[in-house]
Amino acid sequence: MGEIATNLGALFTADFWAMGGHAFFVWTAYAVTVIVLGAVTAASIAATRRRERELAALDPDRAARRGGAATRAQATEDA
């Protein structure tokens, strides 16, 4: 059990965070990765929402077909 505590204690040492002199490269790589993944995720969500709006404009009944029973009931009442 003492060995685990020693290994966990190593996480909080300056040597670990300095990463043997490669900390700048490592932390920059992590930051760039997080930024790129965030941008790709945001672009994907935006494109999906844009396509959904385009489809809704082309086919207004699409929402009624895709919706649940409550949506179908409302569409029937509106007709």
Tokens for 67, please give them.
């919706």
Average pLDDT over residues 52-66: 82
Task: Please tell me the pTM assigned to this model.
Answer: 0.57
Rounded CA separation 41/48 (Å): 11
**Residue range 2-48, pLDDT digits in tens:** 566 566 666 667 777 778 888 899 989 999 999 999 999 999 999 99
- Residue 63's contacts (CB-CB under 8 Å, 6 or more residues apart) are 56, 71
